A = this chain, B = another copy of it.
Amino acid sequence: MDRIPILKMGHFLLVTIQVDLYDRLAMDLEADLVKMVSKTGAKGVLIDISAVSIVDSFMGRIIGNIASMSKLLDAETVVVGMQPAVAITLVELGLELPGVHTALNVEKGMELLQGMIVADDVELEEDDDITLS
């Protein structure tokens, strides 16, 4: 099993990280996710890290990369299920995960993404109004 599966759920993609992200696997995940966002037109990427108990700067960078790449394709990234110990490590390592939103669990992450999409739509409509008037 040499690929991390990406599940499409409505407008979102869900990835569960259960194994250690070594170099090749991480690169493949980045590439697969970006391809999948582009192919499905997904508006959000949910990354569940509830099975991850140890985080290092490499993993932090991979998640940051995914968020930046997805953002370029107009998809938001939400990391869910972070263990308290991982949050402590991230802060102690000074890793900021720029562009990454977080939520307590998948359900809350989905709500967050739904909210962002609705907010985007409202903004678009408001823009339309301005153009029309």
A residues bordering B, Cβ < 8 Å? Answer: 1, 3-5, 7-10, 14, 16, 18-20, 48, 50-53, 81, 105-107, 110
Residue of B7, B8, B81 touching A16 (CB-CB under 8 A): B7
Query: Is B1 in contact with A19, judged by CB distance below 8 angstroms?
Result: yes
Point out the residue from B16, B50, B105, B110 that lies within 8 Å of A18, measured CB to CB. Answer: B16
Minimum CB–CB distance for A16 against chain B, Å: 5
Copies in the complex: 2
Name which residue of chain B comes closest to A16, CB basis: B16
- Cα distance, A105 to B10, chains bound together (Å): 12
**A51 adjacent to B4 (CB under 8 Å):** yes
Is B16 in contact with A19, judged by CB distance below 8 angstroms? no
* Inter-chain contacts of A7 with B (CB < 8 A): 14, 16, 48, 50, 81, 105-106
A89 to B89, CA, bound (A): 44
Rank and list the top 4 A-B pairs by shortest CB-CB distance, nearest first. Answer: A5-B50, A5-B51, A7-B106, A16-B16
Complex CA–CA separation, A5 to B18 (angstroms): 8
Bound Cα distance from A107 to B5, whole angstroms? 14
Given contacts A16-B16, A18-B18, contact A51 B1 (CB under 8 A): yes
Known pairs A16-B18, A18-B19; A3 contacts B51 (CB<8 A): yes
